A and B are shown apart, each in its own frame.
Chain A
Amino acid sequence: MAMRTPLKNVRHLGSAKEGADHFWKQRVTAVANVFLGLFLVWLIASLVGADHATVKTKLSNPIVALALLALIVSGTVHMRLGMQTIIEDYVNGEGTKIVLLMLNTFFAAFIALASVFAILKLSFGA
């Protein structure tokens, strides 16, 4: 006997109320990261051995800065989702798991905020 309401069937979000949200965000950021990751390889390769003035000029270029910001946002969302899956797969203790999931979010947020701050400072700062 089906106990689901018609609304629940239509929403299709399952018992966790998230549906395919995790899966889909992982894939969307993965597609973005293919291009943004290649951009990062190009950027680092073009700055090997460069002095500070050259690096600063390059990183404050609007197109480079925008691509870097996109990489940081897409990359940190992607890595947080990926590490969440690893923690959920291998950590069995409920308390440890919750603590590690929180630390995962804090770490991804720290990397994102620190990097975004640095990129904005390079673009707008004196």
Chain B
Amino acid sequence: MADAGSGRGARPQRPLSPHLQIYSPQINMVMSIFHRITGTALYFGTLLLAWWLIAAATSPQYFNYVSSWFATWPGKIVMLGYTWALLHHMLGGIRHFIWDLGKGYDLQTIDRLSWGSLFLSLILTGSIWVTVAMPAGGV
């Protein structure tokens, strides 16, 4: 059904709409792509949250075993990435709420909201890790 040309000979040569290779990147488009990527990362990252909850509900031994994984350098990098993905996706979502209300559609505001969500997500991620993880010996 998706293939319009099936059973009717050669597919007609229609013009293609410009795709990613042709568009010059704009910040709102890049942030839209980031929103999907961070959403996908959060999707698979829920495995880690479920693993951690199950470990806490299983036994002290198994919880310590799982915690030791999160304490490794790759574990910390994943947690840092997860913090940023969560905050970026959250701020991107708030940007979409503004657009859902029909507001913020002039080009300058679109640029500011897009850059703002990127910078704010980085600043918040940095702040959380500096104030929480480092004093607790997490890094």
* Chain B: minimal CB distance from A39 (Å): 11
Query: Is B60's beta carbon under 8 Å from chain A?
Result: yes
* Chain B: minimal CB distance from A69 (Å): 11
* Chain A: minimal CB distance from B41 (Å): 11
Query: Is A48's beta carbon under 8 Å from chain B?
Result: yes
Give the contact-size bracket for chain B.
20 to 34
Let me know if B86 and A52 touch, CB within 8 A.
no
Let me know if B133 and A48 touch, CB within 8 A.
yes
Let me know if A119 and B128 touch, CB within 8 A.
no
The one of A33, A55, A92, A111 in contact with B50, judged by C-beta atoms closer than 8 angstroms, is A111
Closest to A34 in B: B90
Query: Is A30's beta carbon under 8 Å from chain B?
Result: yes
Let me know if A82 and B56 touch, CB within 8 A.
no
The one of B2, B46, B57, B64 in contact with A92, judged by C-beta atoms closer than 8 angstroms, is B2
Contacts of A74 in B (CB 8 A): none
Interface residue SS majority, chain B: helix
Let me know if A86 and B128 touch, CB within 8 A.
no
Decide yes or no: A56 and B128 within 8 Å by CB, A48-B136, A79-B46 being known contacts: no
The one of B1, B43, B133 in contact with A82, judged by C-beta atoms closer than 8 angstroms, is B43
Contacts of B100 in A (CB 8 A): 27
Let me know if A125 and B57 touch, CB within 8 A.
yes
Q: How many residues of A contact B (CB 8 A)?
A: 38
Let me know if A49 and B138 touch, CB within 8 A.
yes
Contacts of B54 in A (CB 8 A): 114-115, 117-118
Contacts of B97 in A (CB 8 A): 27, 30-31
Q: Which A28-42 residues sit within 8 Å CB-CB of chain B?
A: 30-31, 33-34, 37-38, 40-41
> Can you report 24 residue pairs joining A to B where beta carbons are below 8 Å apart?
A30-B97, A33-B90, A34-B90, A34-B93, A34-B94, A40-B49, A40-B86, A41-B83, A41-B87, A41-B128, A48-B138, A55-B56, A55-B63, A56-B56, A59-B56, A76-B46, A79-B43, A82-B43, A83-B43, A86-B39, A111-B46, A111-B47, A115-B49, A125-B57
Tell me the B residues contacting A by CB distance below 8 Å. 1-2, 36, 39-40, 42-43, 46-47, 49-50, 53-54, 56-57, 60, 63-64, 83, 86-87, 90, 93-94, 96-97, 100, 128, 132-133, 136-138
Tell me the A residues contacting B by CB distance below 8 Å. 27, 30-31, 33-34, 37-38, 40-41, 45, 48-49, 51-53, 55-56, 59, 68, 75-76, 79, 82-83, 86, 92-94, 107, 111, 114-115, 117-119, 121-122, 125
